[in-house]
Amino acid sequence: MARAQVHAIPELDAQSAAQAAARAGLVVRREEPLNAEVQPAALDGELTPPGQFFLRNHFPIPELRAADWRLRVGGLVGEPLELSLDELAGLGRVCSVATLECAGNGRIRFGPAAHGERWAEGAVGSAWWAGVPLERVLRRAGILPGACEVVFRGADAGQVEDRGEPVRFERSLTVADALRSGALLAYEMNGAPLPVRHGYPVRLVVPGWYAVASVKWLTDIDVTGEPFTGYFQDEHYVYEWPRGGALAREPVRLQRVRSLVTEPGGGSWRPAGDLAVRGVAWSGSAPVSRVEVAIGDGQWREAELATRPPDHGWRRWALTVTDVPPGLTRIRSRAYDRAGHDQLTAPEWNRRGYGGNFVHEVPVRLY
C-alpha cells in the first residue's frame, strides 16, 4: 500500500494567498479569511484544475507541520487512538472523485438578500481524493454502545458573534452517517499532498454532502453520547424557512441537484448556427438522471449525459443546438435526479441562503 508523502509546504500569508487565488482566475469574495469562487467556465472537465478549486474559510488558515500533527480519536470508543500521518496513511489508501459544494453556493440569487458570503455559482469543485476510509478508523477505535454522534474538530479557530470565547471549526455526523456516507480522511488531492488551503495534512471528505461537513485541518474525532450543538452545527448551516408565521429549521445535509453551463462561458461570443453547449450536473441524494438546456426563450431539450460518471463526482453533459440565430441570448440548464428532485422550481428562500440550486443562466452573444 502506498504511503502519503510528507512534504514541507511553503507558507503563504493571507494577502499573497488572496493574490495567488486572483491570479489563478478565482473571484475573491473576501481576503481574510480567504473566500474565493471559480468562474463556471473553468469547471469544464471531470476534475477542477489546480488553483481553480473554490476556497471557503471561516478563520485564518492554520499551517500545520506534518511532523507534529496527530489525529486523536476519543470519547465513547473502546481504544482511543493518537495517529501520526504515517500511521494514518498506513491504514490504507482509497481513491475517490468527489464534488464539494458550499451550502451557500448561489446565495447571491436569493431575493430578498440572504445573510452570508455573496457566492454566485462558483463555490463548487470536483477533485480526486485519496485517504483512509473514516469507517476503518472508527472501527479500529471501536464505537461503544450509547454513542450517538461523531464530532470532527479542525485546527482553525476564531471569534464568532454571540460567543465570548474563540471557537474551533467543528462539525458532527450521526454515527450511522459517519460509518455509511463513504467519508474519507483525505491526505491527497489530485495526486499531490493536500494543499495547505484545502486542509493539510488531513481533511474529512463526505461525498454528496454540502462541503461544510468536510472538515479541513482535522485534529480530533470525538464520539459523543449526545447530539452536538456547536456554532457551525446549530446556529449556522441550518435552513430557516419562514413558514406560516413560524421559523421551520432543518440542518443542511446533502447537496441539492444542480447543473452548470461551463461552455460557452458567461459573456462569451460564439458564431451563430451550431452551438455546442456543455456543462456538469450533480446531486447528493441520487444519481443525475437528466439535464435539459434552453437557448433564449426556446424549448427545453435533453442533453446527452457522459456515459461513465465518476463515483461521487459530477456528471458531464453536452448538447449541440442547431440554427441558433445571431444576437444576444441566454443559455439555461436544469437537472433532475433519480430521487425525483429537480431544478424546475426556485429554491425556497431561507434566512441564510443555503441550498440555492437555481437554474443556471449564462448570457452569450452569437455573431
Nearest-angstrom CA–CA distance, 225 and 360: 42
> 255 or 289, CB closer to ligand MTE?
255
Residue 282's binding partner out of ligand MTE, Mo ion, none, with CB under 5 to 8 Å set by partner kind: none
Q: Which of residues 35-74 bind ligand MTE (CB under 6 A)?
A: 53-58
Q: Does 352 bind Mo ion (CB under 5 A)?
A: no
Long-range contacts of 64-67 (CB under 8 A, 24+ apart): 64/155, 64/200, 64/201, 64/217, 66/6, 66/7, 66/200, 66/201, 67/6
Identity at 152, one-letter amino acid code: F
Residue from 42, 184, 212, 275 in contact with ligand MTE (CB under 6 A)? 212
Q: Which of residues 191-210 bind ligand MTE (CB under 6 A)?
A: 198
- Tell me the window of 43-51, 87-95, 214-222, 313-321 that interacts with ligand MTE (CB under 6 A): 214-222
Alpha helices, H only, 26-128: 85-89
Residue from 212, 215, 257, 295 in contact with Mo ion (CB under 5 A)? 212
Residue with cell 480530533: 220
Nearest to 54 by CA among 126, 155, 109: 126
> 38 or 275, CB closer to Mo ion?
38
CA dist 166 → 163, 221, 238, 336 (Å): 7, 19, 21, 42
Residue from 99, 126, 214, 329 in contact with ligand MTE (CB under 6 A)? 214
**Backbone CA torsion sign across 127, 309, 102, 157:** negative
Residue from 169, 187, 239, 317 in contact with ligand MTE (CB under 6 A)? 169
For the bound state, the minimum distance from the C-beta of residue 217 to ligand MTE, rounded and expressed in Å, comes to 5
Binding mask 100-119 for Mo ion (x = CB under 5 A): --x-----------------
Q: Does 282 bind ligand MTE (CB under 6 A)?
A: no
Q: Which of residues 242-271 bind ligand MTE (CB under 6 A)?
A: none
Q: Does 352 bind ligand MTE (CB under 6 A)?
A: no
> 102 or 124, CB closer to Mo ion?
102
Using alpha carbons only, give the angle 105, 110, 114 rounded to the nearest 5 degrees.
85
Nearest to 188 by CA among 310, 5, 57, 52: 5
Residue 156's binding partner out of ligand MTE, Mo ion, none, with CB under 5 to 8 Å set by partner kind: ligand MTE
What count of Cα atoms within 13 Å lies in the side-chain half-sphere of residue 286? 10
> 222 or 292, CB closer to ligand MTE?
222
> 104 or 313, CB closer to Mo ion?
104
Residue from 41, 98, 215, 275 in contact with ligand MTE (CB under 6 A)? 215
> 76 or 212, CB closer to ligand MTE?
212
> 198 or 312, CB closer to ligand MTE?
198
Long-range contacts of 92-95 (CB under 8 A, 24+ apart): 92/1, 92/132, 92/133, 92/136, 93/1, 93/2, 93/3, 93/4, 93/130, 93/131, 93/132, 94/130, 94/131, 94/132, 94/133, 94/184, 95/128, 95/129, 95/130
Q: Which residues bind Mo ion (CB under 5 A)?
A: 56, 102, 212
Contact positions toward ligand MTE, by CB under 6 A? 53-58, 100, 102, 154, 156, 169, 198, 211-212, 214-217
